[in-house]
Structure 1
Amino acid sequence: MNDKAALLNQLKIDRAPEPDGEVGVGRWIVIGLIVAALIAAVAWWLMRPDGIAVQVARVESAGGASGAPASTLDASGYVVARRMATVSSEITGKVIEVLIEEGQRVAAGQIVGRLDDTNIRASFDQAQAQLALARASEQQVRVQLDNAQRDYERRQQLLARNFVSQADVDNARTTLDNLKAQLVTAQRNSEVASRTVNVSQKNLDDTVVRAPFAGVITVKAAQTGEIVSPLSAGGGFTRTGIGTIVDMESLEVEVDVNESFINRVSPAQPALIKLNAYPDWEIPAEVIAIIPTADRAKATVKVRVGFKQKGDPRVLPDMGARVAFLSAAPSAGAVAAPAGVRVPARAVQVSGDTGVAWVVRDDKLERRAVKLGPSQGETLTVLAGLSAGERVAIGDSSTFADGQTVIVKP
């Protein structure tokens, strides 16, 4: 029993008390860390930012007016072809030959396709044969008429000498009149047969499809063996045409101008066109016409703008384009009007010719009513309300309020 107790005593852990100095140092270190964390939290709470984050843009001077025309309005649109047609035959038939490919230039009257003319040519040959028969019959009546004319004259001479009776002369006269009526009928038959030949010839010509004007093929719609018909309503295996041709000389740009700014556009007004595909290429242009109707849904008016340089192969239908409508160049000796300042379009709430901008001053917002001038892409010209060097806020203007504190983001 004593041996077991001795063994158990050997297994006990010695829990001797630690020195008092080590316990005191560790406790004070922990307390110091907790106090530092609390001080940092209080400092952050007291110094935390309480404004909304915005970006700012510097208001820049637009400079004085120069002799070059300035843009009064910018609008986006698309290149359209004023003259474009789907080339088709005037009759229904099977295509036996297609002579066009996409991108090919064709001249006016050039053959672009052929239809099967077997049945139409047979009808044409039949009409020609009927015309020949009618003309032969007409010639036969003419011969009989000439003979009857001579017989009638001869019997008149014999009647004067009392060699024939009056009845013989009357019978000769009747025969002559009858042949004259037959000649008129034969002539009418020849005319009808000739018209029939013309109709058959027209149908035969319609089997050859020609380009109505010079241009470029943009769509090849039919292949050899397909049926084309100008009366087809689509669907099935019947095509409505051989292909689509576009007159590249008729290309122009159509833009939708907000009705609030349509007063800045006038016919024959100079303009510059920039294609989205070639943003550095400025193409001289002018306003062709203002379509006299407005789109109620979009509150826009359509404006046609024509290229002054036509036929450039880089200009293609349906390309996106941006049009800058230019003001007239000032005359010599004219006093230059103040050009105002320029700000990003995102910094102004536009409402017609006026708007609202938010100026950042001493990290607070100040609401400003501004008068707007012409726009140039993403930049607006402000004629009144802002000064060069001021800062304007860019952000969600619905959250802005006059006097509100802001935090300027880089």
Structure 2
Amino acid sequence: MPSPTRRPFRLYLVIAAVALALLAAWWFTGRDGEAAGAYRTATVERGDVRVVISATGTLRATTTVDVGSQVSGQVLEVLADYNDRVTQGQAIARLDPAPFQTRLDQAEADLASARASVNEARASVTNAEADYRRKRDLVERQLIARSEADLALAARDQARARVVSAEAAVRQRQAAVGNARLDVDYTVIRSPVDGVVLLRDIEPGQTVAASFQTPVLFQIAEDLAQMQIDLSVDEADVGQIREGLPVSFTVDAYPDRQFSGEVRQVRLAATATSNVITYPVVVQVQNADLSLLPGMTASAEIVVDGREGVLRVPNAALRYTPPDAPRSGRPGAEGRPRGAPGSMTPGARPGNAGAAAAGRGGASRTLWVLEGKTPQAVPVQVGVSDGTMTEVTGVQEGQQVVVGQERPAE
């Protein structure tokens, strides 16, 4: 007969065995059933889908003028500073005019001497003509030899030629005077446009050397209310860009503010950097409040296509297929369209080019709509995509589409 102390021990063993059996049953049945129904879903919603091309660029004034000096000399005074507003023709710096004034005085003296030579030559012409007339009369009366009259004629013609030469010398001296006067005028450096001084690289006492490559003394932005962004766009995206497309951009100085502009020009001068070809795209920007400054880096998005108020689903829903679905129900079986979400155009590089290419849809796809606890395949037509959301037709607003499935815990 068993002892009373062994009965509780056997009872504990029975209870432990039953508990282990129940735990195993839950592990192999209930847990699997729970995992099989753990679908991640998203709601078919109505909203906007925009296809954008992202790029970065630098803000600059539409017209920027570099101002140098046309003559060499020492700077006497600087009349404009950074951020000063200047008008066309305003003096912004002065060079020492003394050496140029000396050359002007010398040129004017040479001009006066040339004019005196003209008067002397004209007097010689008058005398030579009178002498020729006298000798011509004497020849007619046969009082002197004809050779003397010929010599008088030659002397008259030479005197007339000296007048022409003297008059030419006067014009030459006049040109020299004008050139010297221009040099004196050029000692005053003036603004060629109305604008704002962005750069001042000149100080009083500095010597300026004018040469074939004159140093930039001032840089003047003509109108900061009209600015532009020079974007670098990848060759895979540039074919979608045209003049007039809207552009939104931000700058680091105002992270919470959205600015707008439009594409003004797509330039043909390609640039190759590390085997990547990019094209410059010029964006026109209105800067009425002058908050944007030259040199700021702009992160821009060019809107190449868009739909408003359309049904849309996450791109993950178009990529999902239940593990036990037949092969014909998988997304790739219908023939994924070129540039559709989840695909890559042959030869295209990943990144922004792929996101822009996702905007071209129009193919048949399959969505898995959750009805109860079971996903059902629904064929849909896809439209444009922004790389995250895709336009679809063939489903109803508010339906739950499967975007993934939870992995069973190990």
TM tier, smaller: 0.5 to 0.7
Point out where structure 1 has 5 or more consecutive residues left out of the alignment: 1-34, 64-69, 234-238, 329-335, 394-401
The equivalent of 1:314 in structure 2 is 291
Q: 1:2-401 alignment to 2 at 5 Å?
A: 60-62=45-47, 71-78=50-57, 79-231=59-211, 240-248=215-223, 251-267=227-243, 269-276=244-251, 277=254, 279-280=256-257, 282-283=259-260, 285-296=261-272, 297-307=275-285, 309=286, 312-319=289-296, 320-325=298-303, 339-341=310-312, 343=314, 351=344, 352-353=357-358, 373=384, 375=386, 380-383=389-392, 390=400
Point out where structure 2 has 5 or more consecutive residues left out of the alignment: 1-15, 320-340, 345-356
Q: Matches of 2:159 and 2:107 in 1, distance apart?
A: 26
Max Rg structure: 1
Q: Matches of 2:312 and 2:389 in 1, distance apart?
A: 8
Distance 1:370 1:148, change over 3 A: same
TM-score (norm 2): 0.64
* Alpha-carbon offset, residue 260 of structure 1: 3.2
Asked if structure 2 preserves the Cα contact closer than 8 Å seen for 1:152 and 1:172, the reply is: yes
Asked if structure 2 preserves the Cα contact closer than 8 Å seen for 1:60 and 1:343, the reply is: no
Q: Secondary structure at the match of 1:292?
A: coil
TM-score (norm 1): 0.64
The equivalent of 1:333 in structure 2 is none
Q: Matches of 2:271 and 2:393 in 1, distance apart?
A: 31
* Alpha-carbon offset, residue 102 of structure 1: 1.5
Q: Secondary structure at the match of 1:261?
A: helix
Counterpart amino acid of residue 312 in structure 2? V
Q: What RMSD over aligned residues (CA atoms) do the two structures have, in Å?
A: 4.6
Distance 1:94 1:359, change over 3 A: farther
Q: Matches of 1:371 and 1:294 in 2, distance apart?
A: 34
Q: Matches of 1:218 and 1:74 in 2, distance apart?
A: 32
Distance 1:90 1:406, change over 3 A: farther
